[in-house]
Each structure stands twice: as structure tokens, then as C-alpha cells.
Structure 1
Amino acid sequence: MQISRLGRTITLVAAVGALGVAGCGGSSSTSPSSDTGNGGGSTQADGGGTPTGTLVIDNSFVDKGIDPGHEFTPTNNMLVKAMYDTLVTFEPGKTEPVPSLAKSWKGSADTKTFTFTLDTAAKFSDGTPVTSADVVFSLNRMVNMQGSGAFLLDGVTVTAPDDKTVVVESKKANPALLRILATPPTSILNSKVLKAHGGTDAKDANKTDKAEAYLQTASAGSGPYVLGTAQQNQQYTLNANGKYWGEAKGFPKVVVRNMAAPTQLLNVQRGQNEIALDLSAQQAGTLKSNGALQVTTDASVNIFDVEANMDSKVSPTGDANVRKAIRLALDYEGYTRLSGEGASQAAGLIPSQFLGALESSDAVKQDLDAAKAALAGKTGIKLKLSYPSDATPNGVSFSSVAQKVKSDLDKIGIDVSLDGRPAVTFLKNYAAGKNQLSVSYWGPDYPDPNDYLVYAPGASGRAANAKWTKDMAPEIAALGEKAGSTLEDSERGSLFQDFQRKLNEDSPYFPLFQPAQAITGSKNLSNVVLDPTYTLNIPAVGSN
């Protein structure tokens, strides 16, 4: 992740902080739509358990519009997933690729090329077949428009040997491509419809494509839903696609509303078919005794960590013994309590839900005696701890985390001064490698361990910000390169675990915790699961 992407993450987080709630969002709430009543549509499952009525989803919006080629926010990912298909997809809450538009695929041994065979049954919502030309157009358009998700296919070319075959080739080894091609920005659009409304996949599409306005009023996909009405930053209505080529299991109508968390807390208690996405763990906890609701609180895929500067001219943390002392001094169990029920210690930098995650037994444990011994009697160590003071991702204040880091390091004689700044200022100093010690946060771009190679020594992004060069840890750098270019998931997962164990021994990073996240829904609903890729997999939500 380049700093621009880190900047987007922190910006979204800061917006959430303004509301003081968990989840991804930041806009003010709107009144419930007149066509859904005050608490959602009534429903009765028919004899086969098929849902009827209207599903109502409350979310605190971050809304850049629903053109797949432009969007890349949690709110828009959820909406786009419902209306468009990708080459491969994930089951609710999972990160293992399964067939979607592509019924099968094969990866090359060097992990540079993936060949997909399209399902001949796949059709767009207007009834026309999905062809390889639509895939090439859609992916090229996304890249050439230089939208938020364009970085996902950096160095990638897409070709179509025939109507039902797509070849995706990367300039460098990239086993993550398979999971990247399940993300909503890589959705496949009806190229004929897009061209008729000013769409183009030309190299200058960032200047010449005119289809975004059309896609805010109509959908052009092959997914289970089509767009009904759209009021950006307020409300979207989705209707079941009557020509859907797959097995439709969802509600015939879905309304997604922009609501602040306090309003979500009230709405979800009013009836059936309601889902609230942005309650904090504490807010959701107040509803667990309500027999009409299902409340799930677990660990987010986001990770809080502390990051040190490896440049001895900038920070005392250039000393390996100081880093070891910090690693052993941190009260990891205490950080999970800051977030509430459902949070967990981050055993490594890859979240527990992803391929390559470490087991909890690999997690670093606090040992104050060993931390003091690592300092070997050194005294007078002073550190400035920087953090974005205006952000509360998943309802956790960076200020609270920073205060605890200061308290923990004080116990081993390290004097910490707090340097809280607005996110914009924090990011500027972080990118320039000026921070001695930082409280940071990572939200994944896509659910694959390759997204975490930015932590490898010599990598751009996180490693560069920490001034951690390849020559400082060549063994770890080589291990990261091998893990990031291995095709088979079983071997790749093992290599990424070894990579993280090395980082836990000595690196600029100190993983703290995966904060708690909550999702609350009516008891009659099934598959009410927060999804690491789609926020909520709307087509999968049904009736019990």
C-alpha cells in the first residue's frame, strides 16, 4: 500500500471518528424511506424458506457512487457486489476463491498468468451473454480511468483468445491476482450498454469516459440485483434481477440507508428484516438480551500496531535492543480490552481471517523483566509517539491506544511524549519517515497475504516509512519474496507464517490487536455476517 492508500484508510477512519461509532462511514443519518415503514419491510418466508418482503440495511455511508470502475469504499463495495459479478467470488465471510463468471481457471507455475474459462450460462440483466470482450473492457476501463481501485491491477494485461476465455497476465509474480479478481472494483459490466452511454476502456478513459453518471441511475451487470433508485449519500434501492443466470436466494427488494449509529441502534429493534452494520461492540452488547435479534461481535480484519523508525539518526528505536524491550513491554491483553468483547490480540500483521495468519500461540507475550533486561541498564531513553488524534476506527480512539503505550513503556524506564496530530499531518510526517514511534492501523485492500508485503524490508509503503531497508534484514526480505511468488495456497500460507514469525523476532512493527466489530440483525434472517471483502454479502442474506 502506498501512502496514498494509507491516507484513504485513515481519512475514512477519521470520518468514523467524527461520529464516534464503529465501522466504515461518516455521513449524517437520513429519515427512513416511506416505502419501508419505520423499521423495515414485513416478511414471511414461503414454504421453501424463500424470503419475501423488503430487507433494510442501515449503514453509515462513505459513498463515492456505484460505478465499479470508480468506487472502492465499504458502502459501495456492498452495493456493487449485489449488482455485478466478478470472475471469481467469496462465500459470505470467507476468503477462498470460488467460481462466479468463471467456471474454472488455471494459474501458471510462475504465478504471472491466470487463464479463466467463462460459464456459458452467464447473462447480463438485459439477457445478453457475458463474453470475454466484456471482461477485457471492464478491467481495462477500471485501470485506465485511474479510479480508486486501479492499483489492484498495476502491471496487469487482460486478453481474450476467444469468447469464453480470458487471460490475465502480470509483469511480476502475483499469486494474489485470483483474490484481487473477486473484489468489487473488478466487476464485469455490459460493454455494449456502457459504450452506448459514453463508456470507454481507452488509454485516456480518465478524461473521455462519460458513463459514471449513467451508472449512478442504472446498473449494467449480471448480478442478482439491479438498481432501483439511487440517492447518493442517502439511500439505494435494489430489486431482484428477474433474468439472473444463477441461483437467486436473496430478498426481492433491498433498501440500504445512510444512518448514524444511534439511529441504527433504534431501527434494528423495531421489527423483522433489519440489519445494522455500524454499532460499536458496546452498543451491540446492549442488545444481546433481545430475543428478537441476533448479535455477532468478533475481531475485525483491521489491525492496530506500533511502528518504529529504524534510522538511528531519527529515533532510539534504530537500536535492536530498544525494539526488543518495547516488544516485550507492551500489555497485549490490555489493548484488546480497549476495544471490547470480540477483539483479539494480533498474533502477526496478517489478520486471523486470511491465508497465512499466525496461530494465537505465536503471539508475543508481555514480559517486563525480559524487557528491562534487553535495555541492559540503558537509561534516559526518550521517544515521541505520534498518532492521528482525530480518528477512531472500529470505535477505538488512537489517543487511548497511545496513552496505554506510554504507560507500558514507562514501566521499563522509557520516557514517552505524546504527539497527537490531525490525520493529514500525521500521514505527511509518517510518509516522510519523520516519526520516531507511531500508533498505526491497517485495513486490507484485498483479502490476500500479498497485501502485507509492504511490511517486508526494502518494500515501498510501510517499510519505507519505517526506514527499513533490504540490507538490514536480507533473510526476511528473501522470505517475503518467496512467499509472495508461490502459487499453491498451502505452501504460501506456511511461508507467510514464517515471514511473520521473523517479523515478531525483530522488525520495526509491533502488532497489537484486531479491534472488535459488530453486526446486528433480526432473528429471522440468515447469513448476517460482516464480510472482509464486501462488508455484507447482500445476495446471501435470506430468511430462516
Structure 2
Amino acid sequence: MRSITIPFAQGLLGKLALSVSVVAALTSLSSPAAWAEERALIIARDMDINSLDPHRAWCDTCQIYNTSVYEQLFTVGADNQLKPLLALSYESNADQTEFTFKLNPAAKFSDGSPVEAKDVVWTFQRLKNIKGSASFVADPIASMETPDAHTVIFKLVASNSEFPSLTAGQMSGILNSDVLIAQGAVADETAAEKDEAEGWMMTNSAGSGPFVLGAYEPNTELRLVRNDAYWGDAPGVPEVIFRQVKDAVSQAQMLQSGSVDLAMQIDPDTLKTLEGSDVVIYNKPSFNFVYLTLSPGAKDNEVALTPEVREAVSLAVNRAELIEFTLGGQGQPIATPIPLGFPGGDGHTMPEFNPEKAKELLAAAGHADGFAISAVYPDLNVYGVDFNLAMQKIQQDLSKVGIAVNLQPVPFPNWREQANGDGIPMSMVFFAPDFFGTSQYVDVFGLIEGSVWSNRASGGGEPIVNPNMAAVRDAALAAATPEEAAAKWFEAGEMMIEDRVILPLVSPDIILAHAPDLKGVRYSACCNLPLAEISIGE
């Protein structure tokens, strides 16, 4: 606070006059009139919220919410490097099985209470025991210790060089344990059955983030309000209002009319309608991707999907035309199911388009006259990719080499049930990162026993496994340096290319359209859209 010196010669009346003016000035800065000059940030978005409990929330909008209302030990900066958040620093032992985090003693929850080691331990215990979609984050933890109120020691079940990145994931936000226990939250082994806090968390929040939950009306509106007790730099807007707007055309119209400030799901066709306006377009490559799948063990297979047949399918798909057809060119080709920009994701040879070679492979495999295959896929439009249009294009491509594709779009829950049951011969799906780390891709797409796509590719039969994949993953997680880890992740990426159970098609660009007076809009690997960085003003 700046000090003011008043000469004694001014006398008592002078002092009183100056004191009144200072008080008036300070009062004006904090008065409702001064705050009224600020306005809420209004965002148009097709919201996919399934929960506002960070340990149960699993959606793209949830990613924004979880990193705006709650905070993680670390976060990911614009350069995709880890940055301290609730923790000041961390250290690991030589084999990366033990990590010690030092908490920032200034960190406080929105009720003013300090963020302490006990809250970190309780949070990760609940995350693990709630047995939700995000619980894999806590699976590597064997035990936790708290030598003092601002130190947490994580002891892991195995080497894991990506553990600090896991703590920066949106699902790793630290919860106010005292508040949530009072609302029926449970962190022990009975959490999956006995935790009752989700209902309270749909109308309240208990985090340390720059915003708190204002109100939520499902399928209509989500409101976040500036956290007046925030311990860090205050966010640039007093309130954020998400409005449920399903289609890109409506989002663009609302943006042009001034009824919203930011439209988050503009597709390439709608983007053309904004040309020549004062709307600002943020267009960057994303870490999301859409992929084709081939499951050799699916029970509906009419022919054996051998490695040669899977390679023929890959060769027959014209990915460049697909990207132009579905996204107007607003996307990047991708070779392996590791995002471009992630460790091990860059430098792979892009898949070849060679229908003549595809025919040769099919003939050698005994399918010179072709064959038929069922393609069951979710009836979705994701990241601007209309799955029906994309699958129609793939159907046309494959017909030219003699493969007849029977398209069967279904609701997403139906697709999931079949994919996890008898399997699906061919499908199209999407994936977005849960944290900035490559292990998640090997654990999902790598043919390791028990992995998601090892199970789905087998259709409930004998597991389809690449015998070398697990060792490469484990070597990457035990690597002493990021460079050594990246080399191993690249090796894993090459192996997934050769397995050809997952055929990546495109990494769609992120297109955000916003009013010209918005500043600080960016896409983030950890947070999707960092709300606290956005401000409104000329």
C-alpha cells in the first residue's frame, strides 16, 4: 500500500479534508458502480456436462469448469511446460517412484481456509476410490505421507516419469476436504457406494480456483462468478456465463448480434460466413483426433482382419480428401494415436494413400474379389467432423478396392456397449487428452493386455496383444530425462502404426470465434480454455 505524507502546517482541517478525499477514492474503487464498468463474459457452447463433481465429471466443458473453479498442484503453460500452481515445486527420487511436492502456503480455498497437505491426500484418496472415469490418475499411487502441512510425498507402485503431468490434469483439482466431508463426501474404500456429495456439488463448489460456481441449469446455462477470496491474480472478468447453443450456425449468429462474446464450436463451413466481419478467429491445431478402428476379434467379422487386410484398409483411405471433405482443410493428418506436439507424436511418416497396393495385399490375402464389413459408429459431429459424412467418404474409398462397408450409425451409449462387448469390425471414434502426457495413449490404444483397445479389438475373445508394447511403455515411464522418454514414446507410436488396429484420420483444428474486445483467448492442453486469462476491453 502506498503511504501519504501530510505536512503538519496544513492543520487539522486540512488533514480531515484529505482523509475524506482518500476514503472516497478508495470507496469508489471497490463500490458497485466501479465494478459495473466490468461485464460478464458470455460463451456459446454445446455443453456436454455429466457432473460438476471433479471426480465424476468427464466432458470437454467439465475440463474448463474443473480448472477454473478448482486448482491442481501444477498446470500447463502456453508452451506446454509444467508450471507451479498450488505446489511451489516437486522433487523425485532416482527411479521416479517417489515424488515430494511442496505446497504454496499462500494458497487458500474460496472460504478462506488454507490449502493443506491433508486436502491433497484426501482428494487423491477420493479420486481413486470413487472408481469413476478419472480414477486412473490415482491408480499409480501406492501411499501418501504428509511430514507437515505443506508437504506431500507420493509413493508410487512403479516408476512413472509422467506423474507430475497427471497432477496437472483437470481431474486432479484439490478439494476442500473439511467442507466436502460435511456434505457427505467419502474418500475411503467405500466411496463408490457411500459418497453423497455430488448433489451438493451441482449447486456449490469447494475449490481454490479463480472462480466459484454461481448457478447451473442443465441444458441451459452454467454461471461462474469471480472468487473474491482468490489467493492469486484476480481473473479479468467478474462472471462467466456459458449458454447452451447446440449448432455452429446459431453460435455464429449470436456472436455477430453481440448476445455472446465467444463461440467455441464453429465449424469450417460456418467459419466462412464470418469472413469480412469484425469477429476475431482463433484457429490453431488441436490435440484432439478422430480415428478409424479395425477389431480382428469382433464376432461380426465376415473375414479375418489379418495385418495384411488392415494395412490394405489403411492404404485405401484418402485422408487428404477426407480432411478437405469434412473440415474444409481445417485439420492436420496424423500418423499414430499420439497427438502432434505430445512426446513421441511428431516425426512419423504419414500414412500412404495407395489403392493399387491395397488391391495387391487383398489379393494376396485371398480377397481378390473383395469382402463386406460392418461399420458401427456413434452418430455424432465431433470437433467439426460429421461422422456420417466421414464414414460415407471412407465407404466410397474402400469400395474402389472391393471392400463393401455397411454403415450403421447408432447412439453413443449403444456404440460403447457393443464396442466393449462383442466388438465392432470397423468403427470411427474420437479422443481428446486427459492430461499432457503420452502414457494415456499407449494405455488406451496400445495392444497391452488389459488396455481399452486390446480388449475391444478382441471382442471378448483371446486378448490381442503386442508382446513388446508394455516393455516400451515401462521404459518410457522410467526414463531419466524427457528426451529419453520421448524416444521411447516415439517407438511406441511406430508400433501402434504397424499394428493398425487404430488408424488415425485427422487432428481437427480448434476454431474459436470471439468479439474484438476480448483478450487472452487461447486453447490449452490441460484446461481447454483458461478462463482466468481472458479479459474484456479495448
TM-score range, shorter chain: 0.7 to 0.9
Q: Which residue of 2 aligns with 1:458?
A: 448
Tell me which of 122, 129, 146 is aligned to 2:107: 122
Secondary structure, aligned partner of 1:490? helix
Q: Give matches, 1:346-365, under 5 Å.
A: 346-359=334-347, 362-365=349-352
Are residues 70 and 505 of structure 1, via their aligned partners in 2, closer, same or farther at CA, if it must alter by over 3 Å? closer
Deviation at 1:116, TM superposition (A): 0.6
Q: Is the 8 A contact 1:74 1:534 kept in 2?
A: no
Tell me, in whole angstroms, the C-alpha distance in 2 between the residues paired with 1:158 and 1:422: 41
TM, length-normalised to structure 1: 0.82
Unaligned runs of 5+ in 1: 1-50
Counterpart of 1:340, as a letter, is G
Q: Give matches, 1:158-307, under 5 Å.
A: 158-261=144-247, 262-271=249-258, 274-291=261-278, 293-307=279-293
Secondary structure, aligned partner of 1:409? helix
1:21-43 alpha-carbon deviations (Å, 9 max, x no partner)? xxxxxxxxxxxxxxxxxxxxxxx
Secondary structure, aligned partner of 2:280? strand
The answer as to 2:327 corresponding to 1:339 is yes
Q: Give matches, 1:139-150, under 5 Å.
A: 139-150=124-135
Tell me, in whole angstroms, the C-alpha distance in 1 between the residues paired with 2:501 and 2:194: 44
Tell me which of 426, 432, 442 is aligned to 1:443: 432
Tell me which of 522, 529, 533 is aligned to 1:529: 522
The answer as to 2:116 corresponding to 1:131 is yes
Are residues 382 and 83 of structure 1, via their aligned partners in 2, closer, same or farther at CA, if it must alter by over 3 Å? same
Secondary structure, aligned partner of 2:497? helix
1:44-95 alpha-carbon deviations (Å, 9 max, x no partner)? xxxxxxx932211222222234232332222232123212211111225x54
Tell me, in whole angstroms, the C-alpha distance in 1 between the residues paired with 2:317 and 2:485: 30
Tell me, in whole angstroms, the C-alpha distance in 2 between the residues paired with 1:477 and 1:151: 17
Q: Is the 8 A contact 1:273 1:525 kept in 2?
A: no
The answer as to 2:319 corresponding to 1:329 is no
Secondary structure, aligned partner of 2:383? helix
Once structures 1 and 2 are overlaid, which stretch shifts more, 300-309 or 371-380? 371-380
Q: Is the 8 A contact 2:44 2:260 kept in 1?
A: no
Tell me, in whole angstroms, the C-alpha distance in 2 between the residues paired with 1:318 and 1:148: 30
Counterpart of 2:267, as a letter, is S
Are residues 57 and 502 of structure 1, via their aligned partners in 2, closer, same or farther at CA, if it must alter by over 3 Å? same
Deviation at 1:273, TM superposition (A): 7.2
Tell me, in whole angstroms, the C-alpha distance in 1 between the residues paired with 2:406 and 2:215: 51
Deviation at 1:150, TM superposition (A): 2.2
1:157-208 alpha-carbon deviations (Å, 9 max, x no partner)? 3332221111223323333322221223221122222233333323323344
Tell me, in whole angstroms, the C-alpha distance in 2 between the residues paired with 1:479 and 1:208: 39
Are residues 374 and 232 of structure 1, via their aligned partners in 2, closer, same or farther at CA, if it must alter by over 3 Å? closer
Structure with bigger RCO (C-alpha 8 Å, 6+ apart): 1
Q: Is the 8 A contact 2:117 2:148 kept in 1?
A: yes
Tell me which of 386, 391, 411 is aligned to 1:402: 391
Are residues 73 and 421 of structure 1, via their aligned partners in 2, closer, same or farther at CA, if it must alter by over 3 Å? closer
The answer as to 2:379 corresponding to 1:386 is no
Are residues 275 and 196 of structure 1, via their aligned partners in 2, closer, same or farther at CA, if it must alter by over 3 Å? same
Are residues 317 and 501 of structure 1, via their aligned partners in 2, closer, same or farther at CA, if it must alter by over 3 Å? farther
Counterpart of 1:346, as a letter, is I
Deviation at 1:131, TM superposition (A): 0.9
TM, length-normalised to structure 2: 0.83
Q: Which residue of 2 aligns with 1:70?
A: 56
Deviation at 1:482, TM superposition (A): 2.3
Counterpart of 2:511, as a letter, is A
Tell me, in whole angstroms, the C-alpha distance in 1 between the residues paired with 2:88 and 2:55: 23
The answer as to 2:104 corresponding to 1:104 is no
Q: Is the 8 A contact 1:74 1:535 kept in 2?
A: yes
Tell me, in whole angstroms, the C-alpha distance in 1 between the residues paired with 2:277 and 2:298: 55
Q: Is the 8 A contact 1:60 1:258 kept in 2?
A: yes
Q: Is the 8 A contact 1:281 1:297 kept in 2?
A: no
Once structures 1 and 2 are overlaid, which stretch shifts more, 181-190 or 464-473? 464-473
Q: Is the 8 A contact 1:309 1:315 kept in 2?
A: no
1:305-353 alpha-carbon deviations (Å, 9 max, x no partner)? 2222335994645433222222222211012112224211112111114
Q: Which residue of 2 aligns with 1:494?
A: 487
Are residues 231 and 308 of structure 1, via their aligned partners in 2, closer, same or farther at CA, if it must alter by over 3 Å? closer
Once structures 1 and 2 are overlaid, which stretch shifts more, 383-392 or 448-457? 383-392
Deviation at 1:527, TM superposition (A): 2.3
Counterpart of 2:455, as a letter, is A
Highest Rg: 1 or 2? 2
The answer as to 2:405 corresponding to 1:416 is yes
Deviation at 1:376, TM superposition (A): 4.9
Aligned residues: 491
Secondary structure, aligned partner of 1:535? coil
Counterpart of 1:542, as a letter, is S
Are residues 320 and 245 of structure 1, via their aligned partners in 2, closer, same or farther at CA, if it must alter by over 3 Å? same
Tell me, in whole angstroms, the C-alpha distance in 1 between the residues paired with 2:224 and 2:374: 46
Are residues 365 and 189 of structure 1, via their aligned partners in 2, closer, same or farther at CA, if it must alter by over 3 Å? same
Counterpart of 2:492, as a letter, is F
Deviation at 1:226, TM superposition (A): 2.4
Q: Is the 8 A contact 2:423 2:458 kept in 1?
A: no
Counterpart of 2:412, as a letter, is A
Deviation at 1:537, TM superposition (A): 1.0
Once structures 1 and 2 are overlaid, which stretch shifts more, 127-136 or 296-305? 296-305
Counterpart of 2:437, as a letter, is D
Q: Which residue of 2 aligns with 1:320?
A: 307
Deviation at 1:487, TM superposition (A): 5.1
Q: Give matches, 1:39-54, under 5 Å.
A: 52-54=38-40
Deviation at 1:119, TM superposition (A): 1.1
Q: Is the 8 A contact 1:316 1:381 kept in 2?
A: no
Tell me, in whole angstroms, the C-alpha distance in 1 between the residues paired with 2:113 and 2:470: 48
Q: Which residue of 1 aligns with 2:534?
A: 541
Secondary structure, aligned partner of 1:61? coil
